Structure 1
Amino acid sequence: MKIKRMVASYMPNSLIYGKEYSETLNFLLESEKFTKEEIKKWQLNKLNEILKYSNENILYYKELFKENNIILPLKNLEEIKKIPFLTKKIIRKNYTKLINSKIKGKEYNTGGSTGNPLKLFKSRVNSKKEQAFLDYYMKKLGLKTFRTKKAIIRGDIPKKEKIYEKVGNELILSSYLLSEKTLNDYIRILEKFNPEIIHVYPSSIYSLAKLIEKNKIKLKIPNLKLIFSSSETFNIRQKELVERIFRCRVFDLYGNTENSVHATNLYPEKSYKFNDFYSYVEIDNNEIISTSFNDLGMPLIRYKTEDEIEYIDKENFIIKGRTQDYIYGRNTEKYPVVGIIFGQHFSAFKSMGNFQILQNEYGKIDIIIEGEKNLTLDNEKEIIRILKNVSNNNLEVEIKYVKNIERTQRGKYKFLIQNIGKEEK
């Protein structure tokens, strides 16, 4: 597998992924000329194509459309609202009925951030199209994907638990071993490799940036052109620090393991933009509902992603993250974790490294801070006071320090560990 990955890192993706990849990439480049009306027309045609196919080949949708008297083809995009939502609960209950037996592919699980992984089916073609979209974004940023030196800090585990390993023109760095003690090794390795792109989890690059800032290190990576982040929520405050420390563009791709939606952001722009050719997106009570255009192995039609947006104005929005990410007050009040934490502008943020919220009972939370105790007593009092005020005294707060915050099996950093309110998820 390592030899295959090494050889592939020097080959153009058109050779690796073949016809479906090339056709998708060429279409995306041509679609830049589309007007808004042409985009809507394309989306309607694509939706009708997928709905017709699903009605003929997927038992779940055949039964669903019949029960709800869904008449195809749709006459306009609004008519898709007649189709009931697809939820994770429905997928678990109807997994076999949702799979297309005519399509070759494989089963896989989502990360299971709520403690209950979701089993899905992905066609072989899907991964080829997925790569075409990723390469399209790089081309839009003026970057090549062929023979580009790339460092990766995304949960990959180097062999023999080393800090890094080099595979072809890729440098794989551990997300787990980064610490104050190993920081100089990470800096030395990155500077020597001198990548053009660093592909990261937001939490990984933010942790590295915080350590670099704390230790007043000036990086020397002259070829670095882009920080490419994905798979976690990446807020403005974190992006600002990363851009300042690494002195390059910061591009964030919002997506999900289900491959049902893409939205992109290039800092310092605040707003994200959905990719109209990746999926058809609806917003229902700020929740993202998506219908994917790329996979007929297990079509996800009107899928409730459980991710939320927040509007900056009538057209522009940011990605807030999971709808289930709430802190609960003593009387079961629900406080969105992004708003109640990052919306308060604690002065202590400047001194804090990674931190995590833990809730085991209503009305009480622990703030777990990674590393040695680095907050003053006034910092701690400020955090406790503000959180009590914004929750109308419905939250008790305790601050604790740990050597390392545990990551998930995929190397992701979970901001909230919520052990109550699971019956609502």
Structure 2
Amino acid sequence: MARGVLQELYDRLPPGVQDMFVATAGWRSYRARFGSHFRANLRDISRTDFLDADEVRADQDRRLAETLRWAADTVPYYRELFRREGIDPAKIRSVEELPRIPFLDKETVRLRGNDLLSDGFSSRILIPGRSSGTTGTALRLVHTREALGWEYAVIWRQRGWFGFLLGDRFAGFGGQPVVPFEQQEPPFWRSDLARGRVLFSLYHMKPEFLPYYAAELRQRGYLFWQGYPSSIALVCEYLLENGIDLRTAAPGAVFTSSETLLDFHRDRIVQATRAPVADRYGNAELSVSAVQCPEGRYHVDTEFCALEIEPHEEGPDWVRGEVIATGFANRAMPLIRYRTGDVATLRKQVGCPCGRKRPVVEELDGRIEDYVVTPDGRRIGRMDHVFKDALLVKEAQILQTAANAILVRIAPRPGYGPDAQARIDREFRARLGRDIAVRYELVDAIPREANGKFRAVISSLAGGRLRAPADASD
């Protein structure tokens, strides 16, 4: 049954029954992510957390050698690549020698995805996935349970640095449409008992509903918050503007991910919660991971990946450019020297006051998107979920010049037609409702900004622009 149809059926259920569905989905998710692989990996990386710099490099090089050997033995794409390029992967003994291997780009993953699958696994045990589709190519991905366990091991290692354990209750601000858009009464959240979290809807954050969010967050004892920084910042902006002090209900930390954490978002969250904010940089392809420590520095999770920088600029102590990632966790579909499309600044010297000796990423320049503003005043970020299954879309961009309408530019692939557009429209309606007009325009390519950057959402509305409050002038 199509996901859009399932969403429509879910939306018709009463909130209590929706909680049951969320809890059931949460239990399935828990089993996939937090089984024996998760526990073993968390033990493993807890052991390597404070290795010295030489030991970190040796451990990473060992994991890299295992990944290259596995790719050469079991992945058709790499067998062909290594043979064609005359590469002996056994002679690549360190991350510094990785440039012998050509880059892997997103279009190759899209076109050669089946050849990138390892023949070392039965298809019955693999877990399908998708990457986001607005800022580039929506990719069909495949993961193993072990890979998901690896990802959540590095996530929970970071949370452990701040004193939290698996099972602690937390507030989640992600993109799941868990509350029907048309719902006009609280609760604007649903409980995922299996994973110890309550999922707050990002699609109901308008002025008259935010008091309910604030009341819930003040009284329920969420030990930490986690989610998209732009959405958490909206809640914090409401708390600050209305002088609401969370007092003893304040979270012990706020963990952000999936968007670029902007300075003014961080400042707003810290002011409202008095809690440390710790970000994570990762991707759906499971090829890269870097997390902020209590000192605020991003440490590359060297047990999970190797991170290179293709230089755009360079100084004595740093190098800035595109992130090239090699993932160690996902053996079902290993990506080696993968162009992420993200830009980062890497310190040339390791070291941090926290005592960890892994490489330090100084700055991340990922996606920055405006909000979409609905006719009833909701401000909604991270619209790329609409395109996550849109494999017939090369890229897409949302433009908004009025609160009652948006224009969606789509650069289509061959085969794109009414059925594909109808599926996209259902995703928009689930997140924006039916009071906003959605017009589609097919184009050959999406224009870039003067600085060459792609913007997935562009708003000319004062409430939609993503900028620091001090810059607001209209």
Pairwise TM-score range, normalised by the shorter structure: 0.7 to 0.9
TM-score normalized with structure 1 length: 0.73
- Which of 316, 319, 331 aligns to 2:364? It is 319
Unaligned runs of 5+ in 1: 323-337, 339-353, 358-367, 373-397, 413-417
Matching of residues 104-183 of structure 1 within 5 Å: 104-114=125-135, 116-146=137-167, 148-161=168-181, 162=183, 163-168=188-193, 169-183=196-210
Distance 1:401 1:67 in 2: 54
Following superposition, the deviation at residue 101 of structure 1 comes to 3.3
Whether the aligned pair in 2 keeps the contact of 1:287 and 1:306 (CA below 8 Å) is: yes
Following superposition, the deviation at residue 5 of structure 1 comes to 6.2
Determine whether 1:280 maps to 2:315: no
Residue equivalent to 1:194 = 221
Distance 1:89 1:50 in 2: 22
Following superposition, the deviation at residue 311 of structure 1 comes to 5.9
For 2:63, what is the secondary structure of its paired residue? Answer: helix
Deviations, residues 45-99 of structure 1 (Å, cap 9, x unaligned): 1111111111111010001011111123123332211000011011111111111
Determine whether 1:66 maps to 2:87: no
Residue equivalent to 1:349 = none
Specify the code of the residue in structure 1 equivalent to 2:240: E
Distance 1:141 1:64 in 2: 43
Residue equivalent to 2:54 = 37
- Which of 289, 292, 310 aligns to 1:265? It is 292
Matching of residues 44-123 of structure 1 within 5 Å: 44-73=61-90, 74-103=92-121, 104-114=125-135, 116-123=137-144
Whether the aligned pair in 1 keeps the contact of 2:158 and 2:293 (CA below 8 Å) is: no
Whether the aligned pair in 2 keeps the contact of 1:39 and 1:276 (CA below 8 Å) is: yes
Following superposition, the deviation at residue 185 of structure 1 comes to 1.0
Distance 2:333 2:292 in 1: 28
Whether the aligned pair in 1 keeps the contact of 2:33 and 2:145 (CA below 8 Å) is: no
- CA separation of 1:16 and 1:424: change in aligned 2, threshold 3 A: closer
Distance 1:15 1:255 in 2: 19
Following superposition, the deviation at residue 369 of structure 1 comes to 11
Whether the aligned pair in 2 keeps the contact of 1:86 and 1:304 (CA below 8 Å) is: yes
- CA separation of 1:399 and 1:29: change in aligned 2, threshold 3 A: closer
Q: CA RMSD in A?
A: 3.7
221-230 or 238-247, larger mean C-alpha shift: 221-230
Following superposition, the deviation at residue 411 of structure 1 comes to 7.1
Distance 1:101 1:180 in 2: 52
Determine whether 1:28 maps to 2:45: yes
Deviations, residues 101-120 of structure 1 (Å, cap 9, x unaligned): 33231322211122641111
Residue equivalent to 1:395 = none
Determine whether 1:238 maps to 2:265: yes
Residue equivalent to 1:295 = 330
Residue equivalent to 1:383 = none
Residue equivalent to 1:393 = none
- Number of residue equivalences: 352
Whether the aligned pair in 2 keeps the contact of 1:371 and 1:403 (CA below 8 Å) is: no
- CA separation of 1:51 and 1:156: change in aligned 2, threshold 3 A: same
Following superposition, the deviation at residue 277 of structure 1 comes to 1.2
Whether the aligned pair in 2 keeps the contact of 1:14 and 1:22 (CA below 8 Å) is: no
Distance 2:32 2:98 in 1: 37
Following superposition, the deviation at residue 19 of structure 1 comes to 2.5
Indicate the structure whose relative CO is greater, using CA pairs within 8 Å and at least 6 residues apart: 2
Whether the aligned pair in 1 keeps the contact of 2:169 and 2:223 (CA below 8 Å) is: yes
Residue equivalent to 1:402 = 403
Distance 2:240 2:61 in 1: 49
Distance 1:90 1:240 in 2: 40
Following superposition, the deviation at residue 263 of structure 1 comes to 1.2
Specify the code of the residue in structure 1 equivalent to 2:75: I
Deviations, residues 170-225 of structure 1 (Å, cap 9, x unaligned): 22211010111111111112112220111111111112222333333333453521
Specify the code of the residue in structure 2 equivalent to 1:77: V
For 1:32, what is the secondary structure of its paired residue? Answer: coil
Matching of residues 325-404 of structure 1 within 5 Å: 355=370, 402=403
Specify the code of the residue in structure 2 equivalent to 1:287: E
157-166 or 51-60, larger mean C-alpha shift: 157-166
Specify the code of the residue in structure 2 equivalent to 1:128: G
Whether the aligned pair in 2 keeps the contact of 1:190 and 1:221 (CA below 8 Å) is: no
Unaligned runs of 5+ in 2: 1-17, 312-320, 350-359, 378-398, 409-426, 433-444, 455-474
Distance 1:95 1:9 in 2: 29
For 1:228, what is the secondary structure of its paired residue? Answer: strand
Matched residues, percent identical?
A: 23
Distance 1:4 1:207 in 2: 27
Specify the code of the residue in structure 2 equivalent to 1:113: T
Deviations, residues 312-365 of structure 1 (Å, cap 9, x unaligned): 89765111115xxxxxxxxxxxxxxx7xxxxxxxxxxxxxxx9459xxxxxxxx
TM-score normalized with structure 2 length: 0.66
Following superposition, the deviation at residue 371 of structure 1 comes to 8.8
Whether the aligned pair in 1 keeps the contact of 2:309 and 2:323 (CA below 8 Å) is: yes
